[in-house]
Chains A and B, each alone.
Chain A
């Protein structure tokens, strides 16, 4: 491959990236820890350890505290079902994964658990978008947080939220 081919190849990759990001959003990696041995899938009791934006070979952390990691993980698990703040709140309140977050550590204290409120979720959305924007900026993607944690208006006053991203879950020790 000569230099001209390399250049054109790189241009093609950049264009492919653009198409992919516009259609599906960026790629996120959510890491879970404390998976029970023998489990193949995510299960209640694990901890949402981190969330990162993956761009080619680079990994850029989305710096989120526990509560926002739980909301992000919840939205990622329900990304094809846009939900209002109230629905997310109700979902988190009854979601076994959130309720038993980190229980596999053996620590049953509330250290890794968070309580949510419907009104607080709108603020959480803002903060997640801010953290996503910083990570995306660091990754050189120039995508806004609101383009990843997307708002959709309904015919009423309600706003529905969903994640526009491809997501993979990774389990680590």
Chain B
């Protein structure tokens, strides 16, 4: 089972993502903010295989969270998901940080 960290401040969205991923072999830990996830990782030194971040809100916080989580989860693959199309530059900026980006 792949250990997965889901960072999602939107409760409804998180529920939807969890429902979608129901049939995948993922053990998912949900955190409501990047800050909480970062604190947990700093405290527990836990490792994850996949990190999914809700990047719907186009703010600096998404990039900061992504960078911090990448430093703490060295062997994880990162996937940012957004319900809103923020244009190609937003997507490129995330992908340049080494994360995948997909609309949901």
**Interchain CB contact under 8 A, B24 and A15:** yes
Q: Which chain B residues border A115 with CB–CB below 8 Å?
A: none
Residues from chain B with Cβ under 8 Å of A95 in the complex: none
CA distance A121 to B80 in the complex (A): 41
In the complex, whether B50 has a CB less than 8 A from a CB of chain A is: yes
What are the residues of chain A within 8 A of B103 when measuring CB–CB? 3, 6-7
Which of A41-49, A72-80, A135-143, A149-157 lies on the face that meets chain B?
A135-143
Q: Does B37 contact A (CB under 8 A)?
A: no
For chain A, which range describes its interface: under 10, 10 to 19, 20 to 34, or 35 or more residues?
Answer: 20 to 34
Interface residues of A in 1-60 (CB under 8 A from B): 3-4, 6-8, 10-15, 17-18
| B74 x A142 contact (CB < 8 A) | yes
**Bound CA span A24–B98, Å:** 20
Could you tell me if A17 and B104 are in contact, using CB atoms closer than 8 angstroms? Answer: no
- Chain A binding site: helix, strand, loop or mixed by DSSP? helix
Contact partner, A17, options B24, B73, B74, B77, Cβ 8 Å: B77
When distances are taken between beta carbons in the complex, the residues of chain B under 8 Å from A6 are 102-104
Instruction: Judge whether B64 is part of the interface by a CB distance below 8 angstroms.
Output: no
Q: A15 and B98 in contact (CB under 8 A), knowing A8-B20, A144-B74?
A: no
Residues in B with CB closer than 8 Å to A141 are: 98
Residue-wise, chain B 19-50 has the 8 Å CB interface mask toward A (1 for contact) of 01100100000000000000000000000011
The answer to whether B99 and A18 touch across the interface, beta carbons within 8 angstroms, is no
Query: Whose C-beta in chain A lies nearest to the C-beta of B80?
Result: A10
CB atoms of A14 and B100 under 8 A apart? yes
CB contacts under 8 Å to A, within B40-90, are: 49-50, 52, 70, 73-79, 81
Q: Which residues of A contact B50 (CB under 8 A)?
A: 11, 14-15, 18
Query: Which A residues between 91 and 150 are near B, CB-CB below 8 angstroms?
Result: 137-144
Q: Known interface pairs A6-B103, A144-B74. Does A11 touch B79 (Cβ–Cβ under 8 Å)?
A: yes
Q: Which of B21, B75, B79 contacts A143 (CB 8 A)?
A: B75
Chain B residue contacts of A138, Cβ below 8 A = 98
Q: Contact partner of B104 among A7, A137, A144, CB < 8 A?
A: A7
- The residue in chain B whose Cβ has the minimal distance to the Cβ of A147 is B75
The reply to whether A140 and B78 form a contact with Cβ atoms under 8 Å apart is: yes
Hey, which bits of chain B sit against chain A, CB under 8 A? 2, 17, 20-21, 24, 49-50, 52, 70, 73-79, 81, 97-100, 102-104
